[in-house]
Amino acid sequence: MGQQETVATSLADTVREGIDAALAAVDADLARRYPGDPGTRQPVHTVYVPGDAFAADTIRSWGDQALAALDEHAPDAASLAAVLGIPEALAGPVYQRVRAKLEREPVEDLRIDFEDGYGVRSDAEEDADAARAAALVVAAYQDGTAAPYMGIRMKCMEAAVRDRGIRTLDIFLTGLMEAGGLPDGLVLTLPKVTYTEQVTAMVRLLEAFEKARGLESGRIGFEIQVETTQSILGPDGRATVSRMIEAAKGRATSLHYGTYDYSASCGISAAHQSLDHPAADYAKTVMQVAAAGTGVRLSDGSTNMLPVGTTDRVHEVWRLHHGLVRRSLARAYYQGWDMHPGHLPTRYAAVYAFYLEGLEQAASRLAAYVAKAGGDVADEPATAKALAGYLLRGLDCGAVASGEVARLTGLTRADLDSLAGRLPFGG
């Protein structure tokens, strides 16, 4: 290789050095505020179960009820495809994989609810249920029946219920610690956040618990539930949710949209409260922009339409739920709430079809990008990152198999992690 040719320049090195020095604080701030995706699995849903109803067999029971609903209302691939409009070519794979998922891992994320789904109880009753929840979560992780993610939704930081929420959280976390420590899949949800100071209070609370139990600072994160108009737009005209992410000091793991509380706070009548209402779209767009690049993930809310009753009624609700999930996926809301076992078949059908129908195109584009082979789409690094993320989410939830991705792309899981920005490329 020949000697590198010298080219002419006009600027002294001190100019570059001066700019580096001037932007050093900005560089550090960008790295702190926008670290990117955490590189961990994101569940496709969160299932909420009242604190008094949660039992050792809850997860398996939800799976069995979902399978029974399929057996009764869509006993084969063709019947489910006809109800939901799944393309014929995907009907078999989607149906088979949905059933396998319900048998193997029916719930990806479970939240034991001590807020709206639980209500106001005596202190003695809530104390007992919080302690029991901790014991059941520990047992589930020990015997292998736990969901990948589990935790509680406490009461909010508003004055009327603040002390009760703090006590319930303390009892639950203490129960986990007394039994051996916090599980890796622990998730906590702080609801009805209105002011950034409530997020700051949650951070202070977790810092105090970590100090009391000798845990590493920052070990415990939490979800922020967006259920009020003030959490989207503050009285100063600024996007409050962005300030909440900052106030969480790196502990915020996700933003969850609360369909019905938020809709009600906007004055929307009950008949029109839905995930696809324009007010919901506005709120979720603000959430999306505020969270972009921060590593804080997004979750859509739920539908209160339950698939129960006659087959015609179940099919009607399944079509509604399936359509809402598909809509959320297209808008990059890869997680949502499920409130009934009958929602699981359509949750997984929508998610699996979403990843299966785009598998070959995404794999082809990513393989061409890596090989610099061109093709009919000129993808850039940011798009390659999105393509790799798409395939990784499909793998994580079981929609696609690693062998399928490897065959179509020639890439390993580590390669995909690298392209998605989770590891240095080739790492």
Please give the structure tokens belonging to residue 84: 């939901």
How far apart CA 250 and CA 222 sit, in angstroms, is 10
Residues 309 and 384 in one domain: no
**Mean per-residue pLDDT over the chain, rounded:** 94
Residue 5: predicted pLDDT: 77
Co-location of 151 and 200 in the same domain:
yes
Per the domain annotation, does 4 fall within a domain? no
Residue 62 lies in a domain: yes
Reported as a single tens digit per residue, the pLDDT across 245-300 is 999 999 999 999 999 999 999 999 999 999 999 999 999 999 999 999 999 999 99
Q: Is residue 9 part of a domain?
A: no
**280, 402: one domain:** no
pLDDT at 106 over 60: yes
Q: Are residues 304 and 369 in the same domain?
A: no
Report if residue 12 sits inside a domain: no
> Any idea which of 12-26, 138-152, 167-181, 412-426 has the lowest mean pLDDT?
412-426
**Domain co-membership, 311 together with 364:** no
Are 353 and 363 part of one and the same domain?
Answer: no
Indicate if 286 and 367 belong to the same structural domain.
no
Do 319 and 375 lie in one domain? The reply is no
- DSSP H or E stretch at residue 110: strand 109-113
User: 128-132: long-range contacts at Cβ-Cβ below 8 A with a sequence spacing of 24 or more?
Assistant: 129/51, 129/52, 130/51, 130/167, 130/168, 130/171, 130/172, 130/175, 131/171, 131/172, 131/175
Q: At what angle do helices 344-357 and 88-104 cross, to 10 degrees?
A: 130
Q: How far apart are CA 6 and CA 9, in angstroms?
A: 10
* pLDDT of 373 strictly over 90: no
- Structural domain including 400 reads 359-419
In a shared domain, residues 252 and 398: no
Residues 325 and 407 in one domain: no
Residue corresponding to tokens 């899949």: 185
* pLDDT for res 230: 94
What is the domain-level CATH number for residue 241? 3.20.20.60
Taking residues 30-35, report their average pLDDT. 93
| Helix (H), strand (E) at residue 111 | strand 109-113
Beta-strand runs (E) in 192-258: 222-226, 252-257
Q: Which of 318, 339, 357 is the C-terminal boundary of a domain?
A: 357
Q: Is residue 346 in a domain?
A: yes
Tell which of 318, 337, 357 closes a domain: 357
Same domain, 318 and 378: no
For the sheet with 149-153, list strands across it: 297-299, 252-257, 222-226, 186-190, 149-153, 109-113, 45-50, 336-338
Within a domain: residue 32? no
Number of domains observed in the structure of the chain: 2
Whether 317 and 396 map to the same domain: the answer is no
Rounded to two decimals, what is the model's pTM?
0.92
Asked if 270 and 237 touch (Cβ cutoff 8 Å), the reply is: no
Non-local (6+) Cβ contacts of 267 within 8 A are: none
DSSP secondary structure of 131-142: HHHHHHHHHHHH
* 217-256 residue pLDDT tens: 999 999 999 999 999 999 988 999 999 999 999 999 999 9
